[in-house]
A and B are shown apart, each in its own frame.
Chain A
Amino acid sequence: MNALKWWWGILLAFALLGVSRTFLPLPFMNEVVIFSIYAMGCNFLIGRVGYISFGQPAYLAFGAYACAFYLFYFGTNPLVGIMVGVLGGLVVSLVIGPLFVRLRSDYFAMVNLALAVIVFYLTQKVLVDITKGDNGLWFMTRITSTPGLDLTIPGQFFIFALIVALAVCAFYKYLDDSIYGACCLATKINENKLQFLGYDNFSIRLLAFVIANTTTALAGAMYAVYLGFVSPEMASPSRAADPVIVTLLGGVGTLFGPIVGAIAYTGMKDVISKLIGNWELFIGFLLVFIMLVADQGIWGTLAPLLEKLLWRRKATLPVATKR
């Protein structure tokens, strides 16, 4: 019973996502689910550890390209490809993590953005021989169907993506509730105090960095399998703000923020880019607007209201929306 209490918020959220599949177009839903995995890593970094990273596209591209290299040059199994992508992200973040985590948060943000631009150049110009530059790697036809859930069919891919997103979300909920999650929050708020308590700031931050960026790489690998191709556009610096915007839009540090943000962002992108061609103009000013006026985000504003509503209606109902 306790386990159910702990779980039901997440299960409900994903059941809602699953149900909305019946009346919303499938590409939109796939985009939303992958994007929310992408934003979850970013959300953990910003909300829990206090690191704002504009370099997320770089880690996305690491995951996507690791997966793409496997599917393009070596194997055909998409599941193995995703695993290779995650492994690639893990290795990369383990290598550069110790370097970046030592930095002050403002330097951290700048170094990461520089990394994103460098990865963009790397995939577009320097490693043209293996990445095929701007043309990208196309391996749609090479992916073989897998037993059980067939990832080559978008409808079944959605179920797979939903399960993965559910697992990632549950994992972050577990982290949030654990002592480690509390340590992360403490390192954001007062690192000196945490040090006096006998914890090591560096290793806590390093672990958070690795976890968040491995999640991002997972999202990258999922993108690669879903789209069937990768191109340097993925690491483009003009998209560097996307995960940060989604996180802020949804509500920083909240569990469901990334999902709500991903739905809102993808929805707006679909609607607005049809109405006006100039998407950048809109997204830039949206970002400024969120920062100036509503830095709680959608879920951050909605959650207390929902909580109030639920409490009034039924006092014994466990509140899943407490964060």
Chain B
Amino acid sequence: MAQESYSAGCYEAMISTQLLISGVIFGLSIGSIYFLLAIGLSLCFGLMRIISLDQLLYYSLGAYITYSINLASGSMWLGVLAGTAFAGLASFAVERLIFRRIYSREPTFSMITSFGILIGGIGIIKYFWGVVPRPVEVPTLLQVTIFGTEVPVYRLIVVAIAAVVYVGIWLFLHRTIVGKAIRAAIEDVEHVEGLGINVSRLFTITFIIAGALSGLAGGLHAPLIMVDPSMGLETLAFVFMVVIIGGLGSIKGTLISALIIGQVVSLGSIIYAPMAQMAPFVIMLLVLLIKPTGLYGSTVLKR
């Protein structure tokens, strides 16, 4: 990630305001990716009370499908679409085959199981694509000028997509019947079940949404980094920190902490590169010291 920010910053003049602006844009884009990933984890925990580490697998899968489709058809956006769809499909299969059986167990149980899925999935990825890191070309090399600083358009597009997803998720949860049922089920599953709503279908829908969003995050992240089998494990810690700082199960908290972590990683790497990896961890420890359930996490969990 250090190289990434370096390449984002290196063609700027060495004027600090320009560096700052490009740093902020970089932070916004990286925060958007973290948000897309963390929202899946957060939703799954809020509704099903599972810690779904396999979201990181759908993230890698999304990136690899993007790479393959991009290579075959030359269109990166088509790749992202296919990656999102494939990640959704994969998550559907995993939910049906594995998670269905363990919803009633405690959260840490699902964490171990999903870690097994993640590791096994990385093995499958290595089998099909090999261990060599693959580059994905950026779809637009356009630059726009903001306050006298040239900013790559692609990063702005990533931020825009994340914003659209946030609004979409908000509308889905607040304006549609299914979304309202999901919100109600986050509060109290048994009551919702008592109202005659098919909770297990809600679980499936939520899991597919989470998986597809993770795939989208992977596809969008692919041109910014090298696609390699362990990319999920590398991103894991940051996504975790985003979810923990925001509080498990809270979408608003996830958004805010994703933005914070994005800025910390990007601005931190301008000041001193190795610090960028450490700083989020320190912030997480501080947040946990003050509020052990994260910024917006609920203290009491029913179920």
Contact = CB atoms under 8 A, between A and B. Distances in A.
Interface of A: 52, 54, 99, 102-107, 109-111, 113-115, 117-118, 121-122, 125-126, 237-238, 240-241, 244, 248, 278-288, 291-292
Interface in B28-56: 45, 51
Nearest to A126: B274
A208 B22 CA distance: 47
B189 interface: no
B74 interface: no
Nearest to B53: A113
Interface stretch (B8-16, B139-147, B180-188, B237-245): B237-245
Contacts of A103: 288, 292
Interface in B78-114: 98, 101-102, 106-109, 111-113
Given A102-B292, A106-B108, A118-B278, A241 B233 contact: no
Contact of B107 (A106, A114, A248, A282): A106
B149 interface: no
Contacts of B248: 106-107
Given A54-B115, A110-B51, 14 more contacts: A52-B112, A99-B288, A106-B111, A107-B292, A110-B240, A114-B240, A114-B244, A237-B236, A244-B115, A280-B126, A281-B123, A281-B124, A287-B113, A292-B101
A288 B113 CA distance: 5
Interface string B114-132: 0111111111101100000
B293 interface: yes
A248 B112 contact: yes
B122 A280 contact: yes
Contact of B108 (A52, A121, A126, A240): A52
Contacts of B237: 113-114, 117-118, 237
A104 B292 contact: yes
A292 B101 CA distance: 8
Contacts of A126: 274, 277-278
Contacts of B102: 291-292
B159 interface: no
A279 B124 CA distance: 11
A109 B277 CA distance: 20
A286 B116 contact: yes
For the complex of A and B, 5 pairs with smallest distance between CB atoms? A284-B120, A281-B123, A287-B116, A117-B237, A284-B119
Interface of B: 45, 51, 98, 101-102, 106-109, 111-113, 115-124, 126-127, 230, 233, 236-237, 240-241, 243-244, 248, 274, 277-278, 281, 284-285, 288-289, 292-294, 301
Q: Is the interface of B mostly helix, strand, loop or mixed?
A: helix
Nearest to B126: A278
Contacts of B126: 278, 280-281
12 contacts: A107-B248, A107-B292, A110-B240, A111-B288, A125-B277, A244-B112, A278-B123, A283-B116, A283-B119, A287-B113, A288-B116, A291-B112
Contacts of A52: 108, 111-112
Contacts of B236: 113, 117, 237
A223 B249 CA distance: 40
Nearest to B50: A106
Identify which of A113, A283, A288, A292 gathers the most chain B CB atoms within 10 Å of its CB.
Answer: A288
A121 B121 CA distance: 23
A291 to B, nearest CB: 4
Contacts of A99: 285, 288-289
Contact of B240 (A113, A122, A238): A113
Given A125-B277, A291-B112, A292-B98, A114 B120 contact: no
Given A52-B108, A99-B285, A113-B237, A241 B115 contact: yes
Contacts of A106: 45, 51, 107-108, 111, 248
B98 to A, nearest CB: 6
A38 B98 CA distance: 29
A285 B116 contact: yes
Contact of B119 (A115, A122, A280): A280
A113 B241 CA distance: 10
B53 to A, nearest CB: 8
A43 B108 CA distance: 15
Given A118-B281, A238-B233, A285 B289 contact: no
Given A102-B292, A106-B248, A114 B281 contact: yes
B41 to A, nearest CB: 9
Nearest to B233: A237
A238 B230 CA distance: 8
A104 B293 contact: yes
A122 B278 contact: yes
A288 B123 CA distance: 14
